[in-house]
Structures are given as C-alpha cells and as structure tokens.
Amino acid sequence: MNTYAKPRRGNTLWRVIVVLVVLLVIVWLLAMLFPGGGGDPTAKAAEATPDQIKQGEYLARLGDCAACHTAPGGKAYAGGLPIASPIGTIYSTNITPDPDTGIGKYSYGQFERAVRRGINADGHTLYPAMPYPSYAKVNDEDIQALYAYFMHSVQPVKQDNHAEDIHWPLSMRWPLTYWRWLFAPKVSPIETAATGDATMARGQYLVEGLGHCGACHTPRAFTLQEKALGPKDGTVYLSGSVNDNWVTPSLRGELASGLGSVPDDELIALLKTGRTERSAVFGGMSDVIEHSTQYMSDADLAAMVHFLKSLPAARQEQAVTYDAARHTALYSGNVSTPGAQLYIDNCATCHRTDGHGYGQVYPALAGNPVLNGENPGSAVRLVLHGATMPAGRDAPTQFSMPAFRERLNNQQIADILTFVRSSWGNRGGAVTAGQVADLRDKPPVGQPLMTSYDPRVRDPNELKADAEDQVPPTPPPSK
Amino acid sequence: MTRMKPVDVVLVGFGWTGAIIGMELVDTGLKILALERGAYRDTSPDFTYPHNADELAYGIRGELFQPLARETVTIRHNLNETAVPYRQYGSFLLGNNVGGAGIHWNGQHYRPSPEDLEFHSHISKRYGQKFMPEDMQIQDYGVTYDELEPFLDQFEYLCGTSGRAGNLNGEIKDGGNPFEGVRKREYPNPPVADNYGAKLFADAARSKGYKPFPQPSSNASRPYTNPHGVRLGPCNLCGYCERFGCFMYSKASPQTTILPVLMRKPNFELRTNSHVIKINLDSSGKRATGVTYIDAQGQQVEQPADLVIVSAFQMHNVRLMLMSGIGAPYDPKTGKGVIGKNYAYQMMSNVNVFFDKDVAINPFIGAGSGGNQIIDEFNSDHFDHGPHGFVGGGYILGGQTGGRPIQQLLVPPGTPAWGEKWKRAAKDSYLHTTGVQSHGSVMAYRDRYLDLDPTYKDAFGLPLLRITFDWHDNEYKMTQFLTDRAQEIADAMKPRQTSQTIRKPGGHYDVRQYQTTHTTGGVIQGTSPETSALNRFQQNWDVHNVFVTGASAFPQNLGYNPTGLIGGLTYMSVKAIRETYLKNPGPLVQA
C-alpha cells in the first residue's frame, strides 16, 4: 500500500499543480488579451483654448495631482515621490509633456484612459495609488481641460520614472487588471439625488470626483478598495479611516467626532487656509490644503461643504458642550487630576488652561473633533512628533507644534491625552501607554518641523551640520 | 574667482532692514538676492520650547551671536591707546544668522521725539551754540518727524507693536506718552498687561507727578495679522526674550513678520554662508558694480548687481564701507572725512528695588518689553536742560523682563558673591525684587569714531573694525540726573532696600558690563556730503547705487531703543528707491 500510495499522492499533487499553472496561464492570458476598461485610446483632442488650459490648471490643483506627481524639491509634475504600499514602495510617474520620459506622446484617448480608467498607454493597469476609481466620475469636459493643461502649459521635464521597489511575484502587474475589473467603477456621471439643488450636485461631483476625499476618509476593505464611492453606497462613505498612521476623521454628521458641529464657514476657512479660529489641519491634510483646496474658488468650496454637511452621521453622538469646571480648577491651582500638572507644564502656554487656544495660531482643544473620536491616534502622533501648519496664500504663517517624544514617556503622553480628552466637555475617553507605545516608532517619524520655504528642507544635511557645529570651517586667507 | 549671474539688487546682510527692503522691492519683479554670512534660522526647529529656554546656551554662551573667535572688533578709549580685541561678549551683543539682532532683541519699539531728528538745529536754537561742548558734533538727520511718521507707523503695523498712543493727531491721551510726536493712528495692538513690578513703579511715578505709560512693545499682546498677511502669536511673558529666539511667534522679527511671504517669491533668492568682503566699483569710482563674497567653502565669489544695499549690523556696515574705499575715512584730528564718523552708544543705570516678603513679585513673568512701564519726562528735550548743563536724556523704566537664574537673580548690596549667605539672600529676594532703569542717550564727539585696526585681523585675514570710545562729561551729567530721578521713584515705591549701578566721572567705558547693543553712527545721514556719508534717503553721496541702512546712519544716539527709528528710516529709503530711483537711477538729493 505504502509503495503504491505515495506516488499516487504525488501524482495528485502534480495534477493539482499542473491544473493551477494552466489556470494561472489562462487567467494571465485573459488579463493580457482582454484588458477591458473601455475608452478609445486613439481619440484625439480638439484644439486647446486658453480658457480650457486655465480651467485645466484649476482642475489639476483640485485633483491635487501635484501632491503625488511632484516630489519634494523636485520639478513640477516630474514624479519620483515614493509612496509606501502594502506590497512595497512605488514611485509616482513623470506626467510632464516630455515625449520620452513623460506623457508627451499620449493621445487624448490614452490620457483619458489613464486618468479615469487606470490604464496607461502600454495597456498596463495602474497601481490604485492613482485614484482612478474616483476620477471615473470626472466629466469629459474636465478631462479635456486637464489634457489641454498638461500638454500645453506644464513645463516638459526629462526625468526617467523610478522603478518600483516591489519583489517578484508581487511585482507582476497583470493581477492588478483583476483588481480593476472587480473594484473600479464604470466611467459614468454621478447619480445625484434628484433634488434640483445645483450647489449640492456640484459639491458631490467635486468630493466624489477630482477631490477624491474618499481615498483617505472612507475606510478600505482588506483588498484595499474603498468600501464606498458615494453616498448611495451607504453611511460607510467618508466615515473616517486610518492613513499613514494618522486617523482621518469622519466627514459626516457625527456631532462630536465628525463635522456635525462644525459650521459651514469654519469648514470653508479650514479648506482655504488650513486653520480656523478653533482648529488647524495636520498630517496628510496639510498637503491637500497647500497644493489643492486653497486654490479652489469660494463657490466650489461652498459647494463641497454644502454636500459634506448633508451626509447623515454614521454613528449617533451627542454634541460636545463646553464645561468650565476644568478651567476653574486649573486657574485656582488645582492640579489633582492625573495629567493636569503635565498639561500645565507642556501644553497650557499655547492651548491655555481654558482649552480655547488662540485663534488661527494655536488650535482649541475644547470641543475639537480630533479629541472626541474613539481612536486617539492623531493626537498621540501630534504630541510625539509635532506638526507644522500648511502654507496658504491667505495665511502664509506656518506655525509648528514641537515634538515631545524625547521629553515625555509613553505614560506621560497617555496621561496628558487622557486629561485633554476628558476636559472642558470633551468625551474622548482614556488613552493607554500601550497606545502611545504602538505609535511611537511608526512612520513618519522624526521629520524636522520646518516651514516649506526653509532652505534646509532642500538640504537636510545643512540642518544636521548646523546642529553639529555652529562655526563653519576656517577658509584659507584671502589673497 | 567665480562670477555669478548678475542680479538687479543685492542685499548685504539679511536682518531687519534687508528683509524690509527685499519685501518692499519684490513686487517690482526685479531679481533680488540677499547675501547672509550666517545660516538660516527659524522659529521651528531652532527656537522651540523647551530648548529655547536654556540660559546657559543662549544667555551666557551666546548661541545666537556672532562667534568672536572668527571676527570681532577692537576697542580703545582714546587716540593714544592701542586697541585690543573684544574677545568675550559683554557690553553689546552682535547678532548672527538670518534675522540678525532682530531675533534676539527685546522688542522695545520706540519712535524718536521730533526734536531728536533735528537735534543740532533744535539745541542751538533753544540753548545757543555755546551750550554744547566744543568737541560735541551732533547733527540733523535731514528728515523731519512729520516726514517720517508714515514710515514709523508702517514698521509698527508690520511688527504688531503693542502700546497706547499718547498723542493721537495732536490730542494728548491719558495713559500714553504725552511727550511723543503726533501719531496718526493708535498702535496696532493694546499694551501687554503690566507685570507687578511695573505697576508698583507706575503708582510711585504718578505719586511724583509723572505720567507713566506702557512700554511700546513688539511682543504682541494678542494674535495679530500684519499687512502682509503674516500672523504673530500672543506673548505669554515667558521671560526668555533678550538673547533668545521667541518660541511663541510673538516677538517681531523678520521671521515672524516678513519671511513667510518674501521667501516664497520666485524673484527673491537668499544665499546663506555668504560673507561679503567688498563692494566693487567701476573705474570711475562713482558706481558700484556688485559685491565680492566668501562662500561656505572659503572661495571668493563675485556677484554683479545694479543696486547694492548695505543692510548688515551697524559696525559691519561701517567696516564694509571702509574696506571698499567708498567715501573718505573720518580723521579725528581734522574732523574731516565721513566714514567712521560719530560713533555713539548709550548709557544705562540701574536701581534694584528689594521689598520685604509682604510684596510678592513673580519675576519669571516677564517679557522683553511688554508689561513694563515708562516715564519719558527726562528724555530728548522734554524738559529745560538750561539749569542742568547737559544735552540729551533718556527714559526711566520700571518692572522686569524675566527672572532667569543666572543673569537676572538679584541680591541686596552687601551680600557675599557666593556661599550659604548668598544662597539665602537669593532665596529671600527672588520673589520680592524688581528694578528701575534709566536708558540714556550718548552724543557724538570729534574723538569718538570707527576705523580699520592696524594690527588685528579676522579669520579671512581682513582688518578688524576699531572702536575709539569713552564717556564724556555731558553723559556723566546726564546719567547722574536720570539716576537721581530713578532713585526718587524707587524710594517712593517704599522698598526695604535699593542698590544702584551708575557710571561716574573718573571711570571709563567698561566692555565687560552689558548695557545695550545700540551702537550707532559711522555711516551717518545728513544734509551735506561734507559732514555726512548718506543723504536723507540713506543713499551714499558719492556712489549713488549704494544705500546703507540701519543705525550706522544715526548722527548721534538718542535716549530710545533704535529699532523703531531704523525701521522707519528704512521704509522711507526704500519708498524713494522704488518710486524715484529705479525710474531714473542717480542721486536722489543734489549735493
């Protein structure tokens, strides 16, 4: 039995392997032969008009193309920004009209397929770091304007694309075709509620389409697609997520942790300048303000906010109302609450004992949605690593909060945040030292807190050299 | 030698005046280059809490100051002495890096009195030419207060200065300085709240019939957005101001008022580690062709430019003009020549005021300028000098700027300098002590001047600047008069004890004691090329495309802190450059 059974089991294994390989080849062939996706790669654009180019520039900012396609210190739209993904690092591509290294040879049809359908000129499927599932909602007119802008107004830059740092077999691109088949929506206009509210429709078009807000603010499934691409997919849409170890808050109507208690004009100011009388942005949203939303027209900002504010809460919450008891206690010198003394020593100078901060300078902690959600991750990160406000045309000052990671241990930070999340009416709940420990070394870590115009951003060695030695080396005497 | 692409405007030094000129010219579209010999510095990451509050690093070791081992000045008391190098910081503090002394100043932001700008004319008219000692050579600025008012205002609104007007369109206002010149509008921000020492001083001053007012302060009393859209934070009276960068974004500096806008302009460029050693002239000697600087690698680089703005610190401006051979060097024997002429300083005195334990003063609650109280009765020509026999004066300040452990810990006279008794006295005094200070003018004299040292050289082998300076009797009389008034107010505060620091005849200028960093003169502005280096627009009389900004233009020193006047003169100068000079380059005033 034994001598017979063994090879038979071996035969079965071999058969399974052969069948799998054949299936795999069929799957591969299918993906290669029928990439699908629609669109006409040979479609030509009409003659570009100056108005169209200008509109394209506005839309490119709205879509925040530069956030990924311009590397820090690099040429505009020449790519090269490393983007961490679960399978390895990918690099954004050169989308300047350089014919050899950029998209200079792209026909309008090829451009349209790349932006809305995620297929490049070679027919390969793009990594979904490119938010084509959102851009699928962008209308023809806007895609044509974008094409006109990139082809006629962006400076061509000769810069080869950086190869991905992904190991075989994950480096094979064809399985992405299946991801696209499964998860990317068809290119089609947005289904708006038939209310006749044109502002609402415009807002939804911007949020779902070029704004691609869901890329960060909608939770993703295990297979990395956004769980919802619009309000029709349910209340999971824009209900908050975690990105790059930052908590991206819900943009829905939750009264404590979402936008439910934030007035429209405050949200508009936040998108325009990155700050308000009560709050300021941080993390990935800083880039969005700096490169994208600050350039939006007042009408478009108002439309986006109008739409966002129409989204009902995904979780029922009570609004946070200010409670002066903690302020009264601190003012009278009562620091008996755990974390209170640490708060006084490290935080109160800017955020004040009343938790109100200073308008457009130091954000209020009282009632801040960031401190009233379940996940304290963003607050933990802010205390550990600090943050710098983005630069806006209307608000050029980039205030920085210092990093406290070297000054405070995990328990101290947990105590401060527990104190802050339970003071002045806040109801965010306790933070543990373990939660701080989890985030202490998670990237991005230790980035210097500098303004975007600091010349040392371009040359971090200069910062290091400054710190090491204040006095430059002695040059030879002049002749 | 490397030759760089020409620029339209080169700024030599990137502190207050360089930043103002750059900002005011940037919208012309001209290519503007700032050459700064130091490094880039900004609030974050360089001045953040708690690292900024390190008195040993910043207060004692001078982290923000020019390293004297590489370049310093030499000092002597008179023409017959050999000058020796200033090897350790004492008397004055030279700023370094982007922002310069605009980083480590206190924010004490004054306007000159109207008569300060026409001082020679005013004093000779009121008291007669003979009232002045023979060797005193005070002069007029060539600018009147009324002409300068809009520019003084412009600088205050840039900085978000906190204060209370005392003379609003001719109407004298309670609670402000009744002696100030006419102010066209209120300060941009209300005064910073008084510290307790200042309150005790103000009460005592009022009881003596004086009119105390809050010190005008560029420590913003509340968040403030200036006309460039740049926002400042509120001062929290942390007590780490002079000698320190401000972590609250509250003390006005180029970084907190201008750079967030200027640094983003595509036609503006800043080159750090670029040390200018010479302004180059064409063969006629009447036109500058640019500058030569030494870069971070020690290489000489030529930078051609159509317009050269010398905007470094006062002493560096004078030295660069001397090394470049622009204008005739001043000769103290003949009184002829202009570069190096009329070096002046300021003269301070202190009355420390010690209370019993029933008067509680938290000295660590302090700001560089905000929160202190001033009387101005004895400044400029606010009083009849006739019976007193001296020219000039100063303000008297009450309060404290901080309670730092090393430099601001006061003990009563008679306390040993160390040991158990010192410790006990320090502990007993710390929470019960404040100060009264006089801040006095220094006039210009024929034998007080700047030139190149014949012996000592810097790290590049270039001659150091030599200061020839000592006190004159006029200033000893001035400080005695002011200190007597300060003592009377201190006594009216009803303290347990006071102690006095005052400079008396028979002494000498002592570089070991800090007084102020308000050194002035050497490239002075005025009405005639015979007696001044610059015209009223701070343009060199001989080389029309060289402008020299800063306190080097002051013909003599006034009783106020200089920064407000420096800012005003710079704004006036750059307006003339923008609106007149650029359209038709040439002398703005015919000699």
From CA A420, how far away is CA A380, in angstroms rounded? 11
Q: How confident is the model at residue A10 (pLDDT cuts 50, 70, 90)?
A: low
* pTM for the whole structure: 0.93
Q: Is residue B288 pLDDT above 60, yes or no?
A: yes
% of chain A surpassing 70 pLDDT: 93
Q: B38 to chain A, minimum CA–CA distance in Å?
A: 9
From CA B296, how far away is CA B289, in angstroms rounded? 23
Q: pLDDT digits over B383-399, tens only?
A: 999 999 999 999 999 99
CATH of the domain at B562: 3.50.50.60
Q: A144 to chain B, minimum CA–CA distance in Å?
A: 30
Q: pLDDT digits over B446-476, tens only?
A: 999 999 999 999 999 999 999 999 999 999 9
Q: pLDDT digits over A279-337, tens only?
A: 999 999 999 999 999 999 999 999 999 999 999 999 999 999 999 999 999 999 999 99
Pairwise CB contact (< 8 Å): B272 & A455: yes
Bridge partners of residue B350, in order along the sequence: B437, B501
Q: What average pLDDT does the structure give for chain A?
A: 90
Q: Tokens 């070991």 identify what position?
A: B512
Q: Is residue A469 pLDDT above 70, yes or no?
A: no
Task: Indicate the Cα dihedral angle A284, A288, A294, A299, nearest 10°.
Answer: -120
Q: pLDDT digits over B533-572, tens only?
A: 999 999 999 999 999 999 999 999 999 999 999 999 999 9
Q: Is residue A134 pLDDT above 60, yes or no?
A: yes
Pairwise CB contact (< 8 Å): B42 & A448: no
Q: Say how many domains are in chain B.
A: 1
* B65 to chain A: closest CA residue: A470
Mean pLDDT, rounded, for B155-180: 98
Relative to beta strand B300-310, strand B546-548 is: parallel
Task: Return the pLDDT at A237.
Answer: 98
Pairwise CB contact (< 8 Å): B296 & A472: yes
Q: pLDDT digits over B336-384, tens only?
A: 999 999 999 999 999 999 999 999 999 999 999 999 999 999 999 999 9
Task: Return the pLDDT at A24.
Answer: 84
Task: Return the pLDDT at A9.
Answer: 63
Pairwise CB contact (< 8 Å): B229 & A472: no
Task: Return the pLDDT at B110.
Answer: 98
Q: pLDDT digits over B31-89, tens only?
A: 999 999 999 999 999 999 889 999 999 999 999 999 999 999 999 999 999 999 999 99
Mean pLDDT, rounded, for A42-48: 89
The two structure tokens encoding residue A479: 């002749």
Instruction: Name the CA radius of gyration of chain A, rounded.
Output: 26
Phi/psi for B351 (5° steps) reads: -120, 110
Task: Return the pLDDT at A179.
Answer: 85
Mean pLDDT, rounded, for B247-258: 98
% of chain B surpassing 90 pLDDT: 99
Domain A198-308: state its class. Answer: mainly alpha
Q: Counting beta carbons within 10 angstroms of the beta carbon of residue B543, is it exposed (0 to 12), middle (13 to 18) or buried (19 or more)?
A: buried
Pairwise CB contact (< 8 Å): B299 & A475: yes
3-state helix, strand, coil in chain B (%, to 5): 25, 25, 55
Catalytic residues of B, which ones? 518
- Test the A interface: residue of B14, B26, B42 with most A CBs within 10 Å: B42
Yes or no: say if A75 and A65 are a contact pair by the CB < 8 Å rule. Answer: no
| Cα separation of the two ends of chain B | 37
Task: Indicate the Cα dihedral angle B416, B422, B425, B431, nearest 10°.
Answer: 120
B516 contacts: CB under 8 Å, gap ≥ 6: B92, B345, B346, B348, B439, B561
Closest by CA position to B276, among listed B307, B328, B312: B312
Q: Does the beta carbon of B260 lie under 8 angstroms from any beta carbon of chain A?
A: yes
Among B40, B231, B298, whose Cβ lies nearest the Cβ of A456?
Answer: B40
For B300, half-sphere exposure in the C-beta direction (CA atoms, 13 angstrom radius) is: 12
Look at residue B73 and tell me if it is in a domain: no
From CA A265, how far away is CA B260, in angstroms rounded? 25
Yes or no: say if A116 and A110 are a contact pair by the CB < 8 Å rule. Answer: no
- The domain spans of chain A are 1-34, 50-180, 198-308, 325-453
Q: How confident is the model at residue A11 (pLDDT cuts 50, 70, 90)?
A: confident
Q: Does the beta carbon of A461 lie under 8 angstroms from any beta carbon of chain B?
A: no
Helix axes A264-273, A284-291, angle to 10 degrees: 80
From CA A413, how far away is CA A436, in angstroms rounded? 7
DSSP string computed for B508-536: ---TTS---S--EEES-B-S-TTT-SB-T
Look at residue B17 and tell me if it is in a domain: yes
Task: Return the pLDDT at A3.
Answer: 47
Phi/psi for B495 (5° steps) reads: -80, 170
Look at residue B409 and tell me if it is in a domain: no
Q: pLDDT digits over A372-383, tens only?
A: 999 999 999 999
Q: Is residue B193 pLDDT above 50, yes or no?
A: yes
Look at residue B303 and tell me if it is in a domain: yes
Mean pLDDT, rounded, for A257-267: 96
Q: What average pLDDT does the structure give for chain B?
A: 97
Q: How confident is the model at residue A470 (pLDDT cuts 50, 70, 90)?
A: very low
Q: Does the beta carbon of B223 lie under 8 angstroms from any beta carbon of chain A?
A: yes
Task: Return the pLDDT at A186.
Answer: 87
Task: Return the pLDDT at A461.
Answer: 58
Q: Does the beta carbon of A345 lie under 8 angstroms from any beta carbon of chain B?
A: no
The two structure tokens encoding residue A126: 């793009």
Q: How confident is the model at residue A459 (pLDDT cuts 50, 70, 90)?
A: low
Q: Is residue A2 pLDDT above 70, yes or no?
A: no
Binding-face residues of B in 455-514 toward A, CB within 8 A: 459-462
Binding site residue list of A for heme c: 65, 68-69, 213, 216-217, 347, 350-351
Helix axes A410-420, A433-440, angle to 10 degrees: 120
From CA A151, how far away is CA A104, in angstroms rounded? 7
Q: Determine if the peptide bond prior to A175 is cis (ω within 30°).
A: no
Fold of the domain spanning A325-453: Cytochrome Bc1 Complex; Chain D, domain 2 (1.10.760)
Yes or no: say if A287 and A67 are a contact pair by the CB < 8 Å rule. Answer: yes
Q: Counting beta carbons within 10 angstroms of the beta carbon of residue B30, is it exposed (0 to 12), middle (13 to 18) or buried (19 or more)?
A: middle
Task: Return the pLDDT at B86.
Answer: 98
Contacts of B228 in chain A (CB under 8 A): 396
Better pLDDT: A194 or B406: B406
Task: Return the pLDDT at A474.
Answer: 43
Q: Domain containing B111: what range? A: 1-68+90-127+140-163+224-337+519-591
- The per-residue b/e assignment along A214-239, b for 16 or more CB within 10 angstroms, e otherwise, is bbbbbbbeeeebbebbbbeeebbbbb
From CA A157, how far away is CA B519, in angstroms rounded? 52
From CA B28, how far away is CA B341, in angstroms rounded? 35
* A446 to chain B: closest CA residue: B45
Q: How many residues does chain A have?
A: 479
From CA B122, how far away is CA B141, in angstroms rounded? 12
Task: Return the pLDDT at A6.
Answer: 52
Better pLDDT: B519 or A87: B519
Task: Return the pLDDT at A476.
Answer: 43
Q: pLDDT digits over A178-198, tens only?
A: 888 888 888 888 877 677 899
Q: How many CB atoms lie within 10 A of CB B409?
A: 16
Q: pLDDT digits over A163-178, tens only?
A: 988 888 888 888 888 8
From CA B137, how far away is CA B154, in angstroms rounded? 31
**Fold match, A198-308 / A325-453:** yes
